[in-house]
Amino acid sequence: MEPTRLIIVSGIILGICLLVQPLAAVHIPTVNEGLLSGNGTYVGVYLGGNTGTLGPNNFKNSNQDGHLYETQVMDHPESYGETVSGGIDSIDTGILSFRASTDAITPGSGAKQVIFSRYYLMNYYPDNNYGKKLYTASPGPDIWAEKVINQGGVPMIALAPYNGHPLSLSDIYPDGKTGREILTDLATKLKDVSDRNKDGSGKGATILIWLAPEFNTYNEVNPEVNDNVDSPAKKAFRQWFRDAYVLVHQNGGDNVQVVWAGNIAQAKDDRKVYWPGNNDNLEPLPSDSVDWVGMTWYSWPGGPTTLSSIKGFYDYYAKERNHPFIFTETSSDGQGDSGREESLKVSHVTEVYNPGSLSSLYPDIKGIVWFNVIKKEGKSGNDPTLVNKNFLIPDGQYIDNGKDEPGVIYSASDPSKQKKMLSIYPDAVRDPYFISSPASFISSPPPTPDRITLSPGWNLVSTPKRLATGSNTGMIFSPVNMGGHSAFMWDGSRSPPGWAMVLATTPIQPLYGIWIYSVSGADINLTFDNTNPMVIPPSRSLPEGWNTIGFTGLNPASARNTFLAVQPDWVHSIGFNALTQSYEPTIFNGDPGESTLLYPTRGYWLFMRSPGNLAAIGV
């Protein structure tokens, strides 16, 4: 291959300029920063498997009482569940796999997945009784929230305070803490998380707390099972919510925001006895003591199926009271009838994810969270017979039993698993009205270790192992249509540092990152040198300043482990997302972001405060 002249395009020049100021974490606008005045809605999903009393991540296993419960797309196919001691590294949100799977059906839909929820019980705070049941060990809610933020999302913690009697922050929970102490501890930790994840302007990341989820369905709040009758329990709830709201903001600041949401309500009066903005006489107080308002809404046979059916509630609590509105859970309930479930869900997606009606009639609907699980529960309010209910996005099914292709979405109606799920949901949320996560967080599927997959545009790549003789030079890139560009590497050892062109004869070695442009995308198969199993693993001397390095090994590893050999000399690292042609969040040494996974065949920028010797972590 005769190399062409090196051309540094404007995108790469911009990228190098960005490297002078390391990229900061994601920030989603808060209510006070104009979320209501903006045009658009955030969408996302609940992926299941989280409350200590409710079973495993995999719905084909059963929880203690033998009932099937929930499913979760998995980012870590090598293991099920999470571990308390594993910290942020062990958390398997499923976000990356879910985004990649929806993107595979409708490109661009993965980026629209922004709001994600998990359920936590104050009875088990902070570890939620995790570790006492199979597949349910997990760190506390603040650690999960930070993992979601690191993946470009807005976490919503659904915090259930129910303990058998009317609510009071003075109640003592099984761990010996009062409700006041638990909320203070959680809000303080969430403020730390928000402050650690500031954007370039210094704004902390947004975190939502859904206090007392579906409050009107719990005996502690509604022992009369009547939404229209006030009672001492409901008065206690209103006071509890007001007190909790103050505590959250005193300790969590403005970026930790409180959500008030029961189950479906159609009119103002349906929730007046639960509204914390009402006093004991149900008269309005000066403060509503809420940030977001909303509800869970499942369309069911004979039930409300249109947005117009909730307009009375929306008009008063959201529009007139100037609060953003969120569907904290939504799907359709076919009451165990799979055919009816699918038809209801198709209609529900068409109704709820409608940019025309949202923008013109319901502009304050700012969040929609799909309840993306399978569970066993009573058939209906009139029939307690247990049935399996599939709440997944229309015709959706996950393969994750026995660690078989975890995270892949396929059609539940196709036994061969070749047909993809219905595209109605990915197609709907792809509309520009639905607000994307920052582009740098859109995930591509995990790479294949023995093949470099190039996306159209610039790519930062590497080889994870030594290549075989004859297949270990720049010639391996000869089939790529580079559109007149050259492949190149950054040489930080030069004086001054600069770019080095990759020629046909240039050795391609582990631990070196290579920039290459591809016009239409391409696959480069790698042939590894497996002739000498006793070869010493490679290492590379890194100068002070910026370096482009390659990841070694065939399995992903955290940045902490990848850069262990140059500890404490490395300062920060930045990856490049070829799908979006943008940089990923900066990973700082000593920050929780160290748990970010790095991948084989990808390259990374690495800044060194002093020279060091980077050793391979795989041969």
The better pLDDT of the pair 71, 554 is held by 554
Lowest mean pLDDT among 178-182, 511-515, 545-549, 558-562: 558-562
| Tens digits of residue pLDDT in 335-380 | 988 788 889 999 999 999 999 999 999 999 999 999 988 777 888 8
Pairing of strands 603-608, 545-550: antiparallel
Q: Is 210 helix (H, G, I), strand (E, B) or coil?
A: strand
Token pair listed for 47: 């992926």
Q: Which pLDDT does position 407 carry in this prediction?
A: 58
Q: State which H helix or E strand residue 374 sits in.
A: strand 374-378
User: Is residue 572 a contact partner of residue 423, using CB atoms and an 8 Å limit?
Assistant: no
Q: Which pLDDT does position 11 carry in this prediction?
A: 33
Lowest mean pLDDT among 174-183, 379-388, 437-446, 563-572: 437-446
Token pair listed for 165: 């009697």
Q: With a cut of 50, say whether residue 6 has pLDDT above it.
A: no
The better pLDDT of the pair 56, 391 is held by 391
Distance, CA of 441 to CA of 71 (rounded, Å): 24
Q: With a cut of 90, say whether residue 464 has pLDDT above it.
A: yes
Burial category of 294 from C-beta neighbours within 10 Å (exposed 0-12, middle 13-18, buried 19 and up): buried
Q: With a cut of 80, say whether residue 55 has pLDDT above it.
A: no
Distance, CA of 529 to CA of 450 (rounded, Å): 12
Sign of CA dihedral 122, 126, 128, 129: negative
CA within 13 Å, CB half, 478: 12
| Tens digits of residue pLDDT in 418-447 | 788 899 999 999 998 998 876 545 555 566
Distance, CA of 422 to CA of 396 (rounded, Å): 7
Give the model's confidence band at 49: pLDDT under 50 very low, under 70 low, under 90 confident, else very high.
Answer: low
Q: Which pLDDT does position 418 carry in this prediction?
A: 76
Sequence-distant (6+) residues with CB within 8 A of 244 are 161, 169, 179, 183, 211, 258
Q: With a cut of 60, say whether residue 579 has pLDDT above it.
A: yes
Q: With a cut of 90, say whether residue 399 has pLDDT above it.
A: no
Distance, CA of 163 to CA of 122 (rounded, Å): 8
Q: Determine the Cα angle at 352 with ends 349 and 358, to 5°.
A: 140
Closest CA to 94 of 496, 319, 373: 373
Pairing of strands 597-598, 587-588: unpaired
Pairing of strands 603-608, 522-525: unpaired
Q: With a cut of 60, say whether residue 26 has pLDDT above it.
A: no
Mean pLDDT of 290-306: 95
| Tens digits of residue pLDDT in 317-334 | 999 999 999 999 999 999
Q: Which pLDDT does position 517 carry in this prediction?
A: 92
Give the model's confidence band at 415: pLDDT under 50 very low, under 70 low, under 90 confident, else very high.
Answer: confident
Mean pLDDT of 210-227: 97
Mean pLDDT of 238-249: 98
| Tens digits of residue pLDDT in 502-533 | 999 999 999 999 999 998 878 899 999 988 77
The better pLDDT of the pair 446, 308 is held by 308
Mean pLDDT of 238-260: 96
As a whole-number percent, the residues of the chain with pLDDT over 70 amount to 83
Q: Which pLDDT does position 465 carry in this prediction?
A: 93
Mean pLDDT of 476-480: 94
Q: Which pLDDT does position 29 carry in this prediction?
A: 61
Q: Determine the Cα angle at 515 with ends 511 and 521, to 5°.
A: 115
- Please name the residue that has the structure tokens 């490109």: 107
Lowest mean pLDDT among 23-32, 39-48, 370-379, 556-565: 23-32
User: Is residue 118 a contact partner of residue 158, using CB atoms and an 8 Å limit?
Assistant: yes
Residue ranges of the domains in the chain? 10-23+443-615, 31-437
Token pair listed for 610: 């002093």
Neighbours of 413 (CB within 10 A): 13
Q: Which pLDDT does position 552 carry in this prediction?
A: 94
User: Is residue 397 a contact partner of residue 407, using CB atoms and an 8 Å limit?
Assistant: no
Q: Which pLDDT does position 25 carry in this prediction?
A: 47
Distance, CA of 237 to CA of 222 (rounded, Å): 9
Closest CA to 125 of 155, 88, 93, 163: 163
Neighbours of 110 (CB within 10 A): 28
Q: State which H helix or E strand residue 293 sits in.
A: strand 292-299
Token pair listed for 611: 């020279």
Reported for 107-112, long-range contacts at CB under 8 A and 24+ positions apart, including other chains, are: 107/430, 108/430, 108/436, 109/425, 109/426, 109/427, 109/429, 109/430, 110/442, 110/443, 111/436, 111/437, 111/439, 111/441, 111/442, 111/580, 112/43, 112/429, 112/430, 112/434, 112/435, 112/436, 112/437
Q: In the predicted model, what is the mean pLDDT of the chain?
A: 83
Sequence-distant (6+) residues with CB within 8 A of 69 are 48, 54, 55, 56, 59, 62, 63, 373, 374, 375, 376
Q: With a cut of 50, say whether residue 241 has pLDDT above it.
A: yes
Question: Which CATH superfamily does the domain covering 31-437 fall into?
Answer: Glycosidases (3.20.20.80)
Q: Is 184 helix (H, G, I), strand (E, B) or coil?
A: helix
Q: SS3 string of 10-39?
A: HHHHHHHHHHHCCCCCCCCCCHHHCCCCCC
Q: Which pLDDT does position 607 carry in this prediction?
A: 94
Distance, CA of 568 to CA of 587 (rounded, Å): 14
Q: Which pLDDT does position 136 carry in this prediction?
A: 55
Mean pLDDT of 232-240: 98
Pairing of strands 154-160, 113-121: parallel
Strand partners, 604: 549, 575
The better pLDDT of the pair 261, 385 is held by 261
Q: Which pLDDT does position 581 carry in this prediction?
A: 78
Torsional class of 297: left (φ above 0), alpha (ψ -120 to 50), beta (otherwise): beta
Lowest mean pLDDT among 236-240, 299-303, 337-341, 354-358: 337-341
